[in-house]
Chain A
Amino acid sequence: MIVAEQKSLAEIRQMITPYQRVLILGCGTCMTVCNAGGEREVSFLHNALRLAESRSGNGIHTFSEYTVKRQCDYEFLDSLVDKIGDVDAILSLGCGIGVQAIAERLPDLPVLPGVNTSFMGMAEEWGVWDERCAACGDCILAETGGICPITRCTKGILNGPCAGTKNGKCEANKDMDCAWILIYKRLERLGQLDKMRRYYPLRNFRTIPRPRRVASKASIDVGEGNG
């Protein structure tokens, strides 16, 4: 799932400055799971903004809150219609996709990102998330024992560990496992160390040109009759 972090209150307040009536819009999927923009975070932020307003003494903003199941499809956003009549901007606690979906669906309404979309990953424990996939478009997990060196190695290198690894940890962060040590151990366990001995050529960054698109539907020429 997509992991994000809520922006600082200061940054959010800065962003909403020009807008008087702000709808705080949560997302019921990934943003709920990563504690960045579910219904609870929406109301927490709502409370925090109101507190900030009352503290500053000259608050002009009014807030409303709402959470949709998912911001990243137009159909979910259609339920916003009766919520935005008297709103000057939407503060989205959805990921970057959600924010853009809103921008596309509601062309006349400014939308502001309330979170920093960070990565795709999973929970390590309660309240801690780790990146797992870079969406590189050229998955090599079969070769690396199911451990992604592109996301989990700071340098994203493909031909084995750098010399910086110490105690199985990464040189960039002593709390982070060195991906290549993990890969080595796993491949050793699987009896597949030959995979690590193989040379991996330079990565192909052009697998899917940006902006990327994936289509699961076949392109069918309607005019063609029986296929």
Chain B
Amino acid sequence: MANSLFEEKLYSGEFLVTTEVGPPKGADISEMVHHIDLLKDKVDAINITDHQSSVMRFPSLGGCLLVKERGGEPILQVTCRDRNRLALQADLLLAYSRGINNVLCLTGDSVDVGDHKEAKPVFDSDSVQLLKIIRTMESGTDIGGNELKGTPKFCIGASVHPEADFIEPQLIKFDKKVAAGAQFFQTQGIFDLRSLRRFMQYASQFDVKILAGIIVLASAGMARYMNNNVPGIIVPQATIDELASAEKDKRLQKGIEIAVGLIKTIKEENLCHGVHIMAVGNERIVPDILEAAQLAGVRH
């Protein structure tokens, strides 16, 4: 029996669509609720980010509760940056108890890139270890070896970076994540399908589902900013040029076009098992993208 709706989808052979919603900085959750409502029936699951780029926000666990409340399928993003092993396990227990059963295990961005640079970085564990922690808990004990009253079950995933400029160590880490129990991977933003093809040639040997990360770029400026400031992101010059070639008020449109193009090709050529759309602050346009990519329709 599947641990979650999303897990069921994962093994259904369908082309998967996930997206992400970033929680607000502040207690006003109306916009997040709006975005959840807008998307919950159009995608297979919604990721709620965990202080993305180390910027303090409303918690991902809270966001996932909202998704649940509104009738959607959440994926809880958990990073190791802010919680030690006690807090991680506790949060997972809470999540499970509220029906949040999908977890994306991440190491987390460095606090140096965020808005609380003086904070103590925790990193008591890393993403691989987090996957292991969850698998340990599922076996009935906490990682201290103490028996748990009520055993949680999760569908767990991790991230991978097929466009990293130095791929070999990333692949080693990917192997370790697979070995630690990751069932699905949502990749970092893909801009060049050649790297996805190369990666899939390698990843297809494992029994894991790969969802290609699609970042919707709103302008060339944003692309350049991300290149300089967002960990790991490398938007190729060709994409930046393409964005820059568009007229000023058509830039976002161009970004959407690029994203749609990528999604369509991935789906048509069956390059991987699905896509994970990251609209970074432009959640409202995700339905249009799905429409254009002919992925629209109720997913539940």
A residues in contact (CB < 8 Å) with B:
154-168, 170-173, 180-181, 184, 188, 193, 196-197, 199-203, 205
- Contact (Cβ within 8 A) B175 A197: yes
Q: Which 8 A-B pairs have the closest CB atoms?
A: A164-B231, A160-B173, A171-B231, A157-B126, A172-B112, A172-B110, A159-B128, A163-B161
Chain A's closest residue to B180 (CB) is A199
- Contact (Cβ within 8 A) B232 A165: yes
Assuming the A-B contacts A164-B232, A166-B165, A168-B166, are A155 and B172 also in contact, with contact meaning beta carbons closer than 8 angstroms in the complex?
no
The distance from the CB of A200 to the nearest CB of chain B, in whole angstroms, is 8
| A-contacting residues, B155-172, CB 8 Å | 159-161, 164-166, 168-170, 172
- A155 contacts which chain B residues (CB < 8 A)? 80-81, 107-108, 110, 121, 123, 126
* Assembled-state Cα–Cα distance A154/B113 (Å): 11
- Contact (Cβ within 8 A) B232 A163: yes
- Contact (Cβ within 8 A) A181 B176: no
* Assembled-state Cα–Cα distance A159/B106 (Å): 12
Total count of chain B residues near the partner, CB < 8 A: 40
- A171 contacts which chain B residues (CB < 8 A)? 109-110, 112-113, 231-232
Kindly state whether residue B264 has any CB partner on chain A within 8 Å: no
B residues in contact (CB < 8 Å) with A:
80-81, 85, 107-113, 121, 123-129, 132-133, 143, 159-161, 164-166, 168-170, 172-173, 175-176, 179-180, 188, 231-232, 234
- Contact (Cβ within 8 A) A173 B176: no
Cross-chain pair count, CB within 8 angstroms: 103
* Assembled-state Cα–Cα distance A201/B129 (Å): 6
- Contact (Cβ within 8 A) A202 B123: no
- B109 contacts which chain A residues (CB < 8 A)? 164, 171
Point out the residue from A158, A162, A167 that lies within 8 Å of B231, measured CB to CB.
A162
- B173 contacts which chain A residues (CB < 8 A)? 159-161
- A200 contacts which chain B residues (CB < 8 A)? 128-129
The distance from the CB of B217 to the nearest CB of chain A, in whole angstroms, is 18
- Contact (Cβ within 8 A) B172 A196: yes
- Contact (Cβ within 8 A) A197 B169: no
- A202 contacts which chain B residues (CB < 8 A)? 85, 124-125, 129, 133, 143
- Contact (Cβ within 8 A) B112 A154: yes
Interface centre among A156, A159, A173 (most CB of B within 10 A): A159
* Assembled-state Cα–Cα distance A160/B168 (Å): 10
* Assembled-state Cα–Cα distance A179/B110 (Å): 14
Interface centre among A154, A162, A180, A196 (most CB of B within 10 A): A162
- Contact (Cβ within 8 A) B164 A163: yes
Can you list 15 contacts pairing A with B, beta carbon distance less than 8 Å?
A154-B112, A155-B110, A157-B80, A157-B107, A160-B173, A162-B232, A164-B232, A166-B165, A172-B112, A181-B169, A197-B172, A200-B128, A200-B129, A202-B124, A205-B124
* Assembled-state Cα–Cα distance A196/B170 (Å): 11
- B124 contacts which chain A residues (CB < 8 A)? 202-203, 205
- Contact (Cβ within 8 A) A201 B132: yes
Chain B's closest residue to A154 (CB) is B110
- Contact (Cβ within 8 A) B166 A165: yes
* Assembled-state Cα–Cα distance A157/B109 (Å): 12
